Chains A and B, each alone.
Chain A
Amino acid sequence: MKKIILMVLTLAFTAGCETVKPWERDILAQPGMQIEADPLDAQLASQVYDSKEASSGGNSPAGGGCGCN
């Protein structure tokens, strides 16, 4: 039982990890911080990937980066 309690407590604490506040996304929102720096290049890569896989979608989560919704 002690092990279970320890595990649950660990889970509870990891859920409390520090997150970036909406007003602190200044630098993170800059174009240079994007994983895909060039949208055209990303679109092309996605096109090639989709045609090779014969399926599309599921590449990224929905929603923007500014925490508006």
Chain B
Amino acid sequence: MTMTRFLYLLLLLPLLTFASEEPTGAAPTFTLNTLDGEPVSTDSLRGKVLYVDFWASWCGPCKVSFPDMHALQEEFGEEQFQVVAVSVDSNPEDARRFVRRFEPNFLVLSDPEGAIAERFNIPAMPTSFLIDQQGNIRHMHKGYKPGDIDKLKPLIAALTGEQ
């Protein structure tokens, strides 16, 4: 390898820090407390399609996603599908105040240290993952804007239809 080629390769190295991969494979399992302090493990939800959403009270688009997650839970029911909203608020009281406005019909868990967010390596706020009945990540959704629910519905319908 010539010195010039080596230098070019070296210059390309920083670009690797921006490379991102669509996550696939087994989703990390975790146990977190609800905002009332009750522990919930994702192992207990195995067999259902999970929509795991990382949100925070300070995140603007999360205000848009909450009513949509409520609608998704209502439409697909609890037998085969579960929305798991994980708050990354460092102060769980902020999350409680936020949740009181929406009265969600889905699970809301608290990850004040961001340990689970780190394991999922979320690239933006909010980020959500669709996890199939076998516990594999099948889709990642970055950010949230009005109308995104229409993209999610067919994906959830396909996953809940899988045997």
Contact = CB atoms under 8 A, between A and B. Distances in A.
Interface stretch (A23-31, A40-48, A53-61): A23-31
B3 interface: yes
B58 interface: yes
B13 A26 contact: no
B155 interface: no
Contacts of A4: 7
A8 B60 contact: no
A62 interface: no
Main secondary structure of the interface of A (DSSP, over half): loop
B114 A23 contact: yes
Given A21-B118, A23-B117, A26-B56, A66 B14 contact: no
Interface size grouping (class) on chain B: 20 to 34
A5 B143 CA distance: 40
Contacts of B3: 1
A11 interface: yes
B123 interface: yes
Contact of B144 (A1, A12, A24, A68): A68
A64 B59 CA distance: 10
Contacts of A66: 58-61, 124-125
Given A21-B118, A23-B117, A68 B10 contact: no
B125 to A, nearest CB: 5
B13 A12 contact: yes
Contacts of A67: 123-125
A15 interface: yes
B124 A68 contact: yes
Given A12-B14, A15-B14, A21-B114, A30 B58 contact: yes
8 contacts: A4-B7, A11-B14, A12-B13, A12-B14, A21-B117, A29-B59, A68-B60, A68-B125
The 9 closest A-B pairs by CB, nearest first: A15-B14, A68-B143, A29-B58, A23-B117, A23-B88, A23-B114, A67-B124, A22-B125, A66-B59
